[in-house]
Structure 1
Amino acid sequence: MKLLQSELYLGMMELSLLDKIKRLVIVALVTDDILMETLVLKGGNALSIAYGVGNRGSVDLDFSMEQDFADVHQTVQTIATNLAETFAAHQLHAFDVKVEEKPGTMPVALRSFWGGYRIKFKVADAAILARYGHDPKQLQRASLELGTAEFRSKSFSVDISRYEYCGHKVAHELDGLTYYVYPPQLLVFEKVRAICQQMPEYVPIVPTHHPRARARDFYDIHSLMEGFDIDVESAESQDVLRQVFAAKKVPIEFLEQLATTQHYHEVDFPAVRSTVTDPSSTQPFAFYFDYVVSRFGQLLR
């Protein structure tokens, strides 16, 4: 579906630069019909962009897909071309586009369910391009810094996770173009799984995985559960939860260990508070932790 560039511009001109770039990236990706059907937006930006809720900023975009790209080389070319054309229509220059496989070295045993891609690129405005466009190295150095006050980078990133459960994906529109997004229930279930993936017992399953504190997931789960009518008790919902866990071979029994993980994740909460629009509105981490444990810790017993 095509959209008049002037209409797209009017719809984005009031956004912050970072929010504008996020939306332009989505538009660039779903301009291609195959990518539109393949990629499903998730994470914090699914909350803010698709559902218009949430007060915690997320810098990069995250997508899932059920399988892998049929032709990775052709997909990379399509992404680079679409980014350049979409950004150019908004007086921005997307360049130095790189698509790398994650992890870089993939053990054979993990290839059927693990990994994905990271798209990274730089952005310059018309003035920077006019001044340094003749010198690629200078253009890279002069590219725009993107991000939040706490985290700024010369590159914008898009993470794509392969072999995910993408059932019940929901169609939304952005500037006249269709894109798919996780429903709120699936956003919650994947965040619960992500918490369980940080347990030391998961490392033998995926040795390339490096556990890290994920206080933000506890905060986001609370926001989602309180903002939407999300069923976790029915047999159908619990079947979905099991499929989300199975996609990355996470034992569903890990839910019973949630209550033991508070101190591991709590150290990350100050960083989460710094990304909230109004940090004074947040509760102590124990509030969000207890909320998640009470709803999922004994769910499948």
Structure 2
Amino acid sequence: MSSILPFPNYGDSLFVRTNQIIFLFTFLSLFTLAHEVSAQRCASDQLTIRTTADGESIATACSSEVSEVIFANEFTGPVGMGSFTYQWQYLAADFSEWVSIRGANEATYTPSLESLPNPEGLSLYRVYVTADNSTPEDRTDDCWQYSSAAAGLSINNNACSRLPVEWLSFGATAGAKKVVLQWETTPEPANAGFHIERSHEGLDWNVIGEQAPLSDNVYDFIDEAPMAGDNYYRIHQTDFDGTITYSAVEVITFTADTRISVFPNPVTDAFTVLLPSAFGDNAELSLFDATGREMSMKTLSASAGIRIETGGLIPGLYLLRATSRDGKIRETVRVVR
């Protein structure tokens, strides 16, 4: 079919042949619609209209970007054409007619994906302009003009690569009993969301929270229960197609409350020891005299803490040492008998 068109032969490209067909109907329609209006047509030296899509004759966009495309006009002609009225039109998908778009009466036009006459290919638009020649009260000298050529919007999702999220920043700050994470990314329409991950040694990661995408791409998350010692943090981001990216890793060494409590102190025949949760289970307790000699003692589980009997100790100063099972936490407190 393309061989009968008055265009150079660019080969068998479907896109070229489609453009040839569409632009043929575009130009033919400019000369067959004069009966639709009552005013006279503006002479070409009076008014010429070049319609563009984002400044181009044909704009290419992904489906998700259609609402960002702007059709606009460039006018050439002498000064004094007065005020303009606008009516935007699109070429029907079967190329049979130009269809006026209801409510499209501004100087520019932005389509929606649902309104495209050809949502999977090339959609063509033009504008019909009426000029009042600076005499709005006298319609006899009005003239009208169409775009000198239609402007097109081509939908090509393959041409629009989805770049992965770029991490603009990621940081972790330790508070008194919590860790605050903050991060910022570039805009990414395909972003499905984030998972906040934490690790004790940077090897095995656990999800401690989730975050949906936000319009400003600025995020924060609070770890209300950090672990004693090193806390490794990273953000796991997932696209709708399953693509995953990770932020950099931040490390916070969180010193939890490791102070042990002894009461009563001074002690009599026994005292009770309270260990904070940072020591975990099965912590080891040791009692030393002033010379550093370890003393024997009897320990009993109590409803609150650990009970230590000291009836056999002579009066003096002693040191009680608590050590966590993994040996990473060790605290010492003075005990007076």
Q: TM-score, normalised by structure 2?
A: 0.19
Q: TM-score, normalised by structure 1?
A: 0.21
More strand by share: 2
